[in-house]
Amino acid sequence: MRTSLKYLLSALFLLIAIVGFAQSSKGNSFFTQKDAKNWVYILNDKSLNPADVFKMKDGLLQISGASSGYLRTKKSYSNFELNVEWRWTKVLGNSGVLVHIQAKDTIWPVCYQVQQRADAAGDIICMNGLWAKECTDSVKFTVKKLQTSNEKPLGEWNSMKVISKNKTLKVWINGVLQNSITGLTASKGFIGFQNEGKPLEFRNLQITPSVIIKQSKPFYNRTVVKEVAIQINRLNETKSSDSYREDYIICANGIK
Protein backbone atom coordinates (compact mmCIF):
# COMPACT_ATOMS: atom_id res chain seq x y z
CA MET A 1 0.00 0.00 0.00
CA ARG A 2 2.73 2.41 0.96
CA THR A 3 4.66 1.60 -2.23
CA SER A 4 1.72 2.69 -4.40
CA LEU A 5 1.31 5.78 -2.27
CA LYS A 6 4.94 6.67 -2.82
CA TYR A 7 4.36 6.57 -6.58
CA LEU A 8 1.29 8.75 -6.10
CA LEU A 9 3.28 11.28 -4.12
CA SER A 10 6.10 11.25 -6.65
CA ALA A 11 3.68 12.05 -9.46
CA LEU A 12 2.19 14.93 -7.51
CA PHE A 13 5.58 16.33 -6.56
CA LEU A 14 6.60 16.16 -10.23
CA LEU A 15 3.51 18.14 -11.22
CA ILE A 16 4.23 20.79 -8.60
CA ALA A 17 7.85 21.02 -9.76
CA ILE A 18 6.77 21.50 -13.38
CA VAL A 19 4.38 24.28 -12.45
CA GLY A 20 7.06 25.90 -10.32
CA PHE A 21 9.54 25.74 -13.21
CA ALA A 22 7.09 27.37 -15.61
CA GLN A 23 6.44 30.18 -13.13
CA SER A 24 10.05 30.78 -12.12
CA SER A 25 11.29 30.82 -15.73
CA LYS A 26 9.41 34.09 -16.19
CA GLY A 27 12.00 35.79 -14.06
CA ASN A 28 14.71 35.82 -16.74
CA SER A 29 17.13 38.75 -16.38
CA PHE A 30 17.30 40.12 -19.92
CA PHE A 31 18.71 43.46 -21.10
CA THR A 32 21.09 43.97 -18.20
CA GLN A 33 24.77 44.85 -18.58
CA LYS A 34 25.61 41.29 -17.58
CA ASP A 35 23.19 39.91 -20.19
CA ALA A 36 24.89 41.79 -23.06
CA LYS A 37 27.35 38.92 -23.61
CA ASN A 38 24.50 36.47 -24.31
CA TRP A 39 23.61 38.11 -27.63
CA VAL A 40 25.01 38.15 -31.17
CA TYR A 41 25.07 41.57 -32.87
CA ILE A 42 24.63 42.03 -36.62
CA LEU A 43 25.16 45.48 -38.18
CA ASN A 44 25.33 46.57 -41.79
CA ASP A 45 27.91 49.25 -40.93
CA LYS A 46 30.84 47.23 -39.63
CA SER A 47 32.65 50.35 -38.44
CA LEU A 48 30.12 50.86 -35.64
CA ASN A 49 30.59 49.47 -32.14
CA PRO A 50 27.55 47.28 -31.36
CA ALA A 51 27.65 48.46 -27.75
CA ASP A 52 26.92 51.99 -28.98
CA VAL A 53 23.94 50.87 -31.07
CA PHE A 54 22.44 48.33 -28.64
CA LYS A 55 22.68 49.55 -25.06
CA MET A 56 21.48 47.36 -22.19
CA LYS A 57 21.03 48.49 -18.60
CA ASP A 58 18.69 47.50 -15.78
CA GLY A 59 16.33 45.53 -18.03
CA LEU A 60 16.10 48.23 -20.72
CA LEU A 61 17.37 47.83 -24.30
CA GLN A 62 17.98 51.11 -26.12
CA ILE A 63 18.50 50.92 -29.89
CA SER A 64 20.06 54.06 -31.35
CA GLY A 65 18.81 53.55 -34.90
CA ALA A 66 22.27 53.92 -36.42
CA SER A 67 22.83 51.66 -39.45
CA SER A 68 20.55 48.62 -39.84
CA GLY A 69 20.71 45.13 -38.38
CA TYR A 70 19.59 43.27 -35.29
CA LEU A 71 20.69 41.48 -32.16
CA ARG A 72 19.75 37.88 -31.46
CA THR A 73 20.00 35.37 -28.66
CA LYS A 74 22.82 32.84 -28.61
CA LYS A 75 20.30 30.32 -27.32
CA SER A 76 17.84 28.64 -29.67
CA TYR A 77 14.14 28.34 -28.76
CA SER A 78 11.32 26.13 -30.02
CA ASN A 79 8.03 26.12 -28.08
CA PHE A 80 7.88 29.27 -25.94
CA GLU A 81 5.93 32.32 -24.84
CA LEU A 82 7.59 35.69 -25.38
CA ASN A 83 6.43 38.90 -23.72
CA VAL A 84 8.04 42.28 -24.31
CA GLU A 85 7.22 45.99 -24.29
CA TRP A 86 8.49 48.58 -26.77
CA ARG A 87 8.12 52.26 -27.59
CA TRP A 88 9.36 54.78 -30.15
CA THR A 89 11.35 57.53 -28.47
CA LYS A 90 11.69 60.29 -31.12
CA VAL A 91 9.66 59.45 -34.21
CA LEU A 92 7.53 56.49 -35.29
CA GLY A 93 9.52 53.99 -37.30
CA ASN A 94 9.99 50.40 -38.37
CA SER A 95 11.29 47.40 -36.43
CA GLY A 96 10.33 43.84 -35.65
CA VAL A 97 10.69 40.90 -33.30
CA LEU A 98 12.41 38.05 -35.15
CA VAL A 99 11.64 34.46 -34.19
CA HIS A 100 12.99 31.12 -35.41
CA ILE A 101 16.06 32.84 -36.88
CA GLN A 102 18.11 30.25 -38.75
CA ALA A 103 21.85 29.78 -38.28
CA LYS A 104 23.34 31.96 -41.06
CA ASP A 105 23.41 35.57 -39.88
CA THR A 106 22.72 38.17 -42.57
CA ILE A 107 21.26 41.68 -42.38
CA TRP A 108 17.93 40.18 -43.51
CA PRO A 109 17.95 36.74 -41.87
CA VAL A 110 15.89 33.64 -42.55
CA CYS A 111 13.15 33.96 -39.93
CA TYR A 112 9.59 35.02 -39.14
CA GLN A 113 9.31 38.72 -38.41
CA VAL A 114 6.56 39.99 -36.13
CA GLN A 115 6.15 43.55 -37.36
CA GLN A 116 6.43 46.60 -35.13
CA ARG A 117 6.26 49.12 -37.97
CA ALA A 118 3.95 51.98 -37.07
CA ASP A 119 0.33 51.09 -37.94
CA ALA A 120 1.37 47.53 -38.88
CA ALA A 121 2.32 46.00 -35.52
CA GLY A 122 1.10 42.41 -35.55
CA ASP A 123 1.73 41.64 -39.23
CA ILE A 124 3.96 38.59 -39.75
CA ILE A 125 6.51 38.42 -42.57
CA CYS A 126 7.79 35.04 -43.77
CA MET A 127 11.38 36.02 -44.58
CA ASN A 128 13.86 34.55 -47.05
CA GLY A 129 12.27 31.19 -47.76
CA LEU A 130 10.34 30.38 -44.59
CA TRP A 131 6.65 29.79 -45.11
CA ALA A 132 3.28 29.29 -43.44
CA LYS A 133 -0.13 28.19 -44.69
CA GLU A 134 -1.52 31.70 -44.33
CA CYS A 135 1.37 33.35 -46.22
CA THR A 136 -0.30 33.64 -49.64
CA ASP A 137 1.27 36.96 -50.65
CA SER A 138 4.08 35.85 -52.99
CA VAL A 139 5.43 39.42 -53.32
CA LYS A 140 5.68 40.76 -49.76
CA PHE A 141 5.34 37.38 -48.00
CA THR A 142 3.23 39.12 -45.36
CA VAL A 143 0.32 37.81 -43.30
CA LYS A 144 -1.72 40.88 -42.38
CA LYS A 145 -2.93 41.43 -38.83
CA LEU A 146 -6.46 40.38 -37.91
CA GLN A 147 -7.71 43.66 -36.41
CA THR A 148 -7.24 47.36 -37.07
CA SER A 149 -4.07 48.89 -35.62
CA ASN A 150 -4.19 49.26 -31.84
CA GLU A 151 -0.76 50.74 -31.14
CA LYS A 152 -0.24 53.52 -28.65
CA PRO A 153 0.98 57.06 -29.44
CA LEU A 154 4.62 58.04 -29.75
CA GLY A 155 6.46 57.73 -26.45
CA GLU A 156 3.99 55.31 -24.82
CA TRP A 157 4.76 51.66 -24.13
CA ASN A 158 3.20 48.91 -26.24
CA SER A 159 3.06 45.25 -25.27
CA MET A 160 3.58 42.19 -27.45
CA LYS A 161 3.00 38.53 -26.68
CA VAL A 162 4.14 35.79 -29.05
CA ILE A 163 3.36 32.12 -28.51
CA SER A 164 5.25 29.54 -30.55
CA LYS A 165 3.79 26.06 -30.26
CA ASN A 166 3.98 23.02 -32.52
CA LYS A 167 4.69 24.89 -35.79
CA THR A 168 2.23 27.71 -35.07
CA LEU A 169 2.63 31.36 -34.06
CA LYS A 170 0.11 33.59 -32.32
CA VAL A 171 0.64 37.30 -31.72
CA TRP A 172 -1.09 39.72 -29.34
CA ILE A 173 -0.52 43.48 -29.46
CA ASN A 174 -1.63 45.42 -26.38
CA GLY A 175 -3.77 42.46 -25.32
CA VAL A 176 -5.54 42.00 -28.67
CA LEU A 177 -5.00 38.84 -30.76
CA GLN A 178 -3.64 40.25 -34.01
CA ASN A 179 -2.28 37.24 -35.88
CA SER A 180 -2.19 33.46 -36.02
CA ILE A 181 -0.28 31.37 -38.54
CA THR A 182 0.12 27.61 -38.91
CA GLY A 183 2.19 25.09 -40.80
CA LEU A 184 5.51 26.82 -40.16
CA THR A 185 8.43 25.41 -42.15
CA ALA A 186 10.79 26.24 -39.26
CA SER A 187 9.78 25.85 -35.63
CA LYS A 188 13.10 26.37 -33.84
CA GLY A 189 15.69 29.11 -33.92
CA PHE A 190 17.08 32.24 -32.31
CA ILE A 191 15.08 35.27 -31.16
CA GLY A 192 16.06 38.78 -32.21
CA PHE A 193 15.13 42.47 -32.23
CA GLN A 194 15.55 44.67 -35.28
CA ASN A 195 17.26 48.00 -35.80
CA GLU A 196 15.90 49.75 -38.90
CA GLY A 197 17.07 53.33 -38.58
CA LYS A 198 14.85 54.86 -35.88
CA PRO A 199 15.54 54.90 -32.13
CA LEU A 200 13.35 52.74 -29.90
CA GLU A 201 13.41 50.95 -26.57
CA PHE A 202 12.47 47.49 -25.30
CA ARG A 203 11.86 46.40 -21.72
CA ASN A 204 10.35 43.62 -19.58
CA LEU A 205 11.44 40.84 -21.92
CA GLN A 206 10.32 37.39 -20.78
CA ILE A 207 10.92 34.18 -22.71
CA THR A 208 9.21 31.22 -21.09
CA PRO A 209 9.89 27.78 -22.61
CA SER A 210 6.79 25.62 -22.80
CA VAL A 211 6.80 22.42 -20.74
CA ILE A 212 5.37 19.64 -22.89
CA ILE A 213 4.73 16.21 -21.37
CA LYS A 214 3.81 13.33 -23.65
CA GLN A 215 1.89 10.59 -21.87
CA SER A 216 -0.88 8.15 -22.67
CA LYS A 217 -2.85 8.92 -19.50
CA PRO A 218 -2.73 11.97 -17.22
CA PHE A 219 -1.23 11.22 -13.81
CA TYR A 220 -2.96 14.19 -12.19
CA ASN A 221 -6.74 14.39 -11.97
CA ARG A 222 -9.56 14.70 -9.46
CA THR A 223 -9.30 11.02 -8.54
CA VAL A 224 -5.67 11.50 -7.51
CA VAL A 225 -6.52 14.51 -5.35
CA LYS A 226 -9.40 12.62 -3.75
CA GLU A 227 -7.12 9.67 -2.96
CA VAL A 228 -4.59 11.96 -1.28
CA ALA A 229 -7.35 13.49 0.86
CA ILE A 230 -8.55 10.02 1.89
CA GLN A 231 -5.06 8.96 2.90
CA ILE A 232 -4.56 12.15 4.94
CA ASN A 233 -7.72 11.36 6.89
CA ARG A 234 -6.63 7.77 7.44
CA LEU A 235 -3.23 8.82 8.66
CA ASN A 236 -4.78 11.34 11.02
CA GLU A 237 -7.01 8.62 12.44
CA THR A 238 -4.10 6.26 13.03
CA LYS A 239 -0.66 6.53 14.54
CA SER A 240 1.16 6.08 11.24
CA SER A 241 4.54 7.58 10.57
CA ASP A 242 4.67 11.35 11.04
CA SER A 243 6.90 11.67 7.99
CA TYR A 244 4.27 10.06 5.76
CA ARG A 245 1.58 12.32 7.21
CA GLU A 246 3.73 15.39 6.54
CA ASP A 247 4.33 14.29 2.93
CA TYR A 248 0.61 13.99 2.27
CA ILE A 249 -0.10 17.36 3.82
CA ILE A 250 2.63 19.01 1.77
CA CYS A 251 1.20 17.52 -1.42
CA ALA A 252 -2.35 18.52 -0.57
CA ASN A 253 -1.35 22.08 0.29
CA GLY A 254 0.61 22.35 -2.94
CA ILE A 255 -2.47 21.69 -5.07
CA LYS A 256 -4.17 24.90 -6.24
Query: CATH number for the domain including 62?
Result: 2.60.120.560
Pick 219 or 175 by higher pLDDT: 175
pLDDT at 43 over 80: yes
User: Are residue 142 and residue 236 in the same domain, yes or no?
Assistant: no
User: Are residue 15 and residue 38 in the same domain, yes or no?
Assistant: no
Pick 57 or 215 by higher pLDDT: 57
Q: From CA 119, how far away is CA 251, in angstroms rounded?
A: 50
Q: Domains in the chain: how many in total? A: 2
pLDDT score at 113: 98
Q: From CA 24, how far away is CA 73, in angstroms rounded?
A: 20
pLDDT score at 227: 64
Overall residue count recorded for the chain in this entry: 256
Q: From CA 169, how far away is CA 189, in angstroms rounded?
A: 13
User: Are residue 116 and residue 156 in the same domain, yes or no?
Assistant: yes
Distance of CA 55 to CAs 92, 161, 218, 237, 252, Å? 20, 23, 46, 63, 47
pLDDT tens, position by position, 65-76: 999 999 999 999
pLDDT score at 158: 98
pLDDT-above-70 percentage for the chain = 71
C-beta of residue 9 within 8 angstroms of C-beta of residue 1: no
pTM of the model as a whole: 0.75
Q: Which residues pair with 50 in a beta bridge?
A: none
User: Are residue 104 and residue 131 in the same domain, yes or no?
Assistant: yes
Residue 90's domain comprises 31-209
C-beta of residue 100 within 8 angstroms of C-beta of residue 130: yes
Asked which of 35-39, 186-190, 243-247 is least confident by mean pLDDT, the reply is 243-247
pLDDT tens, position by position, 186-240: 999 999 999 999 999 999 999 999 865 554 455 455 555 466 556 656 655 554 4
